[in-house]
Structure 1
Amino acid sequence: MKNILLVCGTGASSGFMAKNIRQAAKARNIEIGVKARSDSVVEDYIEDIDLLLVGPHLSYMLHDLEDIAEPYGVAVQIIPKDAYGELDGDAVLDFAIPFLKD
């Protein structure tokens, strides 16, 4: 099973997004783990994930997050603004899948 960590400033909006991604994955019979946390705890989870998805409002942190993730081979991507704003779990799942391939 692949694991995704979503981060936003406090973990609140990403919590709703994580739930919607889990629902979208379940509807498609895709086994995936999705957690949402604050950006301040990324280092606590980085060893256990395959993809780090970042809220678009935190795009200024991209390089710092890539520096944290790179030693673990974890991809870091900014969630598309429209999908994030609409809490569109299907769209974010579609966006994430290519980054989860082995």
Structure 2
Amino acid sequence: MSTSMLASKMQQVANSHDLPIEVEAFPDGKIAQIISERHPDVILLGPQVKYRYGEIVEKYGSSGIPIQVIDQTDYGMMNGEKVLKSAIKLMKAAK
């Protein structure tokens, strides 16, 4: 639920700046499906699944999609703007 709330806040920030960005939250168990069906520009993991980061990067890192764990403080504060900025930087660095 918290991840969906953060995604909503990130989408509000993107919309307020007229950025063509779509932010959605999905369970970590659906990463393979999301990659194959939607090919996202970036995958952000909630801090609650940080322990799976290495496994996820090993499994899906070759897809070319950058993967990062959301900063725990930003997540806890529901700082949609800061998390969105971090995601945008990650996307730009990957190109």
Pairing partner for 1:56 from 41, 47, 60 = 47
Question: Deviation per CA, 1:23-76, whole angstroms, max 9, x where unpaired?
Answer: 001111211111101111111001311111011121110011112322210111
Pairing partner for 2:29 from 34, 40, 58 = 40
- Aligned equivalents of 2:5 and 2:71: distance in 1? 16
Q: Percent identity?
A: 27
Aligned pairs for 1:6-17 (under 5 A) are: 12-17=1-6
* TM superposition score normalised by structure 2: 0.88
Structure 2 residue 74 is matched with structure 1 residue 83: yes
Counterpart position of 2:83: 92
Contact 1:43/1:68 (<8 A) preserved: no
- Aligned equivalents of 1:35 and 1:68: distance in 2? 21
- Aligned equivalents of 1:31 and 1:58: distance in 2? 27
- Aligned equivalents of 1:68 and 1:35: distance in 2? 21
> Where is the helix percentage greater, Structure 1 or Structure 2?
2
Shift of 1:87: 1.1
Secondary structure of 1:36 counterpart: coil
- The count of residues paired between Structure 1 and Structure 2 equals 91
> Where is the strand percentage greater, Structure 1 or Structure 2?
1
The alignment's C-alpha RMSD in Å is 1.1
CA 22–35 in structure 1, closer or farther in 2 if over 3 Å, else same: same
* TM superposition score normalised by structure 1: 0.83
Contact 1:14/1:36 (<8 A) preserved: yes
